[in-house]
Copies of this chain bind each other. A is one copy, B any other.
Amino acid sequence: MDGWTRLGHFLKETQILGSIQSVLYWDQNTSMPVSGSSWRGEQLSLMARQLHARQTSSEYLDLISQAREEFEISRDNGDHDCERERNLELLELQLARQTSLDSVLVGELANAKSEGYERWQKAKSKSEFSIFSPALKKLISLRQEEARQLSEKRSCWETLAQPFEPDICLDRLKELFSTLRTELPIILSEVCLINRNISSTNWDLTSASQERLGNQLLDEWGRNREQTSLAFSPHPFSITLGPRDYRLTRRVVEGQPFSCFLATAHEWGHSLYEQGLPDLSHQWFAWPLGQATSMAVHESQSLFWENRVARSKVFAQRWWSRFAKEGAPVYSANQLWKEINPLTPGLNRVEADELTYGIHILIRTDLEIALLEQGLEVDDLPAEWNKMYSDMLGIVPKNDAEGCLQDVHWSEGMFGYFPSYLLGHLISAQIAEAMCQDFESQGIKGPDPIADLISKGKESTIIDWLRRNVHVHGRKVNAEQLVERVSGKSLSSDPFMSYLKQKILDLQSCL
């Protein structure tokens, strides 16, 4: 057996262990009784230790270097297998990261993360930032040390952001976000003036109705019941537990009749991406190329289905009567469409609409860069947070629980993740624009061929297009390369801004 094949077998077993960890996680969030958590912690920690040992074992090191050697020989003999090369590079990169950290730091980080999470929970429940701040200080200094030890040719924040957004750099991020930073607050203030007299949604649907609508949605969007299971969990998520084992969860939030429905759409977008990753054989499941290329691309897929499809006007035309049938006081497509697109500034990122979401992210991105690289003191974080909310969204949190303690990310030392959410909006819009051009060239009716397909219930055409043009590449290309390949242009915020402005105009013309 050649080294490449042996490496594949090794990776497959690693993947099996990883997927067992995922089953434990799925169960923990969907079935486990609360008092099971301490034993579950022991199970997860055993799996984590096993995985760590495998991924830093000399056996693995040897397998990779043998596979590299074989590859070089083949290439010298004129047989250049690009996919194999990319797989090797990605594995080597990951290995280099894992082996360049000293074990003392790894241990300290693990402890700091779990302490951080614990203190954050307490701090949030009591809305007392000072409970969390010592842990955050510790986490920041440890992760700064981590970046030093990784010694990549990148800044600290850039280094820590790599696992989520490979090749991301600060200059490019600044460029991509600059228009959003100036224009979003201006649009928002205009919208607020106009929207002042729109009443918000003040009705609700039963859990059974919400579940039924979500299931109908998935059936229309091509759910294969033999491959996909659904459940409820405190926070919606989607996860892949094996090459043909897709799961997604949603939740019912009291007083938010669209929450379950939109979460279903969102998580299904994530799942469709994973379902479309290259997987001609089980083998791909174990190799880097069979994985998602970045969190922003992942998010672009979920946002596409949530916002571009489920929150579109044509979609409301097809669905308003189904909502009405479930007892919603909805009497027209326009009414459903407006209610599902509130466009009002709130303090909560997760519940934010398409317009305000970006502002939440800009604030977090600035703050985490400042904490890691620009000397912002942890103790000054709450004040800085509140000031930015006031400046950019025009509202101020009543307390830190709904302010800087709102998100879980920093509590586990996760820095560099937030921009992916906003990049996801940009990527979704640019991909949608390219899709429209492609459909138009195929003779599907303009000016918005996506809307045309939705109105005819032909979402499967959209899914096919995404499979062929986006999902299938896995990690062959990074996020920006993918966008360039799909749209023929560099990523920019233009498609998102024009989409957003047009949508706001349309919504206002409905008033």
Bound form: Cα–Cα A36–B13 in Å: 16
Per-position 1/0 for A145-171, Cβ under 8 A of B? 000000000000000000000000000
Q: Is A231 an interface residue (CB 8 A)?
A: yes
Are B30 and A31 in contact (CB-based, < 8 A)? yes
Among B13, B30, B46, B226, point to the contact of A35 (Cβ < 8 A). Answer: B226
Per-position 1/0 for A191-232, Cβ under 8 A of B? 000000000000000000000000000000000111111010
Per-position 1/0 for A5-48, Cβ under 8 A of B? 00000000100110110011011001111111011101100110
Name the B residues within 8 Å of A19 (CB-CB). Answer: 39, 43
Among B32, B227, B241, B242, point to the contact of A245 (Cβ < 8 A). Answer: B32
Among B13, B31, B226, B247, point to the contact of A26 (Cβ < 8 A). Answer: B31
A18 to chain B, nearest CB (A): 10
Question: In the complex where A20-B24, A46-B13 touch, is A229 in contact with B39 (Cβ < 8 A)?
Answer: no
Query: Which residue in chain B gives the minimum CB-CB distance to A24?
Result: B23
A382 to chain B, nearest CB (A): 34
Bound form: Cα–Cα A39–B16 in Å: 8
Q: Is A246 an interface residue (CB 8 A)?
A: yes
Q: Is A244 an interface residue (CB 8 A)?
A: yes
Bound form: Cα–Cα A34–B246 in Å: 11
A38 to chain B, nearest CB (A): 8
Bound form: Cα–Cα A244–B26 in Å: 18
Q: Is A243 an interface residue (CB 8 A)?
A: yes
Bound form: Cα–Cα A371–B245 in Å: 41
User: Number of copies of this chain in the oligomer?
Assistant: 2
Name the B residues within 8 Å of A228 (CB-CB). Answer: 33
Bound form: Cα–Cα A1–B451 in Å: 70
Are B229 and A33 in contact (CB-based, < 8 A)? yes
Q: Is A501 an interface residue (CB 8 A)?
A: no
Q: Is A282 an interface residue (CB 8 A)?
A: yes
Among B39, B47, B246, point to the contact of A242 (Cβ < 8 A). Answer: B39
Q: Which bracket fits the contact residues of A?
A: 35 or more
Bound form: Cα–Cα A46–B36 in Å: 24
Bound form: Cα–Cα A24–B20 in Å: 8
Name the B residues within 8 Å of A229 (CB-CB). Answer: 31-33
Among B16, B31, B245, point to the contact of A231 (Cβ < 8 A). Answer: B31
Per-position 1/0 for A241-278, Cβ under 8 A of B? 11111110000000000000000000000000000000
Name the B residues within 8 Å of A13 (CB-CB). Answer: 46
Are B43 and A243 in contact (CB-based, < 8 A)? no
Name the B residues within 8 Å of A231 (CB-CB). Answer: 31
Question: In the complex where A226-B35, A245-B35 touch, is A47 in contact with B20 (Cβ < 8 A)?
Answer: yes
A493 to chain B, nearest CB (A): 39
Are B226 and A40 in contact (CB-based, < 8 A)? no
Bound form: Cα–Cα A33–B17 in Å: 19
Pick the most buried of A23, A46, A224, A225: most chain B CB atoms within 10 A of its CB: A23
Bound form: Cα–Cα A508–B241 in Å: 55
Name the B residues within 8 Å of A243 (CB-CB). Answer: 39
Bound form: Cα–Cα A39–B247 in Å: 14
Name the B residues within 8 Å of A47 (CB-CB). Answer: 20
Name the B residues within 8 Å of A246 (CB-CB). Answer: 33
Question: In the complex where A226-B33, A226-B34 touch, is A245 in contact with B40 (Cβ < 8 A)?
Answer: yes
Are B33 and A282 in contact (CB-based, < 8 A)? no
Are B33 and A245 in contact (CB-based, < 8 A)? yes
A157 to chain B, nearest CB (A): 37
Are B226 and A39 in contact (CB-based, < 8 A)? no
Question: In the complex where A39-B243, A46-B17 touch, is A23 in contact with B33 (Cβ < 8 A)?
Answer: no
Are B23 and A43 in contact (CB-based, < 8 A)? yes
Name the B residues within 8 Å of A16 (CB-CB). Answer: 39, 42-43, 46
A241 to chain B, nearest CB (A): 6
A268 to chain B, nearest CB (A): 14
Bound form: Cα–Cα A36–B35 in Å: 28
Question: In the complex where A46-B13, A229-B32, A229-B33 touch, is A242 in contact with B40 (Cβ < 8 A)?
Answer: yes
A221 to chain B, nearest CB (A): 16
Among B24, B26, B33, point to the contact of A227 (Cβ < 8 A). Answer: B33
The interface of chain A, by Cβ under 8 A from chain B, is 13, 16-17, 19-20, 23-24, 26-27, 30-36, 38-40, 42-43, 46-47, 224-229, 231, 241-247, 282
List 10 additional contacts besides A16-B46, A19-B39; criterion CB under 8 Å: A26-B31, A27-B31, A30-B31, A31-B31, A31-B231, A32-B245, A34-B226, A35-B226, A35-B244, A39-B282
18 CB < 8 A contacts A-B: A16-B39, A16-B43, A17-B46, A20-B20, A20-B24, A20-B46, A23-B24, A26-B27, A31-B231, A31-B247, A32-B241, A32-B245, A33-B228, A33-B229, A33-B244, A33-B245, A35-B226, A39-B241
